[in-house]
Structure 1
Amino acid sequence: MFPAWARSASGLSPPPPPSPACRLATAAAGGFYQDSPGNLQAFRADESTATTTTLKLSAARVKFGHEQSEKLSVKVKPRTGGTPTGKVTVAAGSSTLCTIKLANGKGSCALPAKRLKPGKYRLTGVYGGDRKYAGSAYPAVSLTVVK
């Protein structure tokens, strides 16, 4: 329930802005927000195109020079069913490691050899979306390249 507008001598006064917790709770179904001039605006959330991207490694550790033995698998699942198309970009920081074209909402690639020097990396998978489904990202999965 949203706070009511209050009557005052000068007319109607808008309710105070909702708390951050209230804004988060109402964002899932719709609600109100206050724009920069201070006007209360209504919105309706449409999550029918939302997706979830997952990224999995065949191993968390790989030997330098043999990175191509590492298989990166992605899956993009829509909230409401159907099959997303398009591509998922797998990266270590700002360096793109591979771009996977989805088939039936999933796909895989092998790491390029000697692309990553020995060390620890956090790999991300970013689905760019398609005409029907919104993009999404997998936060990070750890990979260690050893000598």
Structure 2
Amino acid sequence: MKERKMKLITVAGVMLIATVIIGGLIFGPFNKLLPESLRRKLGYDTTTTGVITARLIVDFNGARVNVNTTITFQENETATAYSILIKANLTLKIKEYQQGIYIEGIEGVTQNATHFWWYQINGKDGTVAANRLDLRSYSAWLVSWIFRRY
């Protein structure tokens, strides 16, 4: 009976330790140990390096003149859908959430009851927070920020 109880405690302990380790890998500070493809699916920044050049288009939907410029990121620079706006020296209004950064306004044009800011990478809608999408991982050549209607 005592031996069976010890086995049960050992199994429970091993399961608890495995849960903590896996949880730390996926949600904690150790997520950098995960494969890059899984990190991208979970919405974390990736470590892909290399110089990347992308065209940035900001479509204000008639609220002001659109932005159309080319931005180059060096190997040591973070290249995300958020950082391209910063590198273009645009004034931003942001809101930080646990999931990442949400863009509320660009160059004084802020979301309202009818419009919001949305981004696309190479013509496809963004699926994660702007600061979590690594442009290098998507071989991004075009980043579009659009002031869309709800």
TM-score normalised to the size of structure 2?
0.28
Q: Which has the higher strand share?
A: 1
Per the normalisation by structure 1, the TM-score is 0.28
Higher helix fraction: Structure 1 or Structure 2? 2
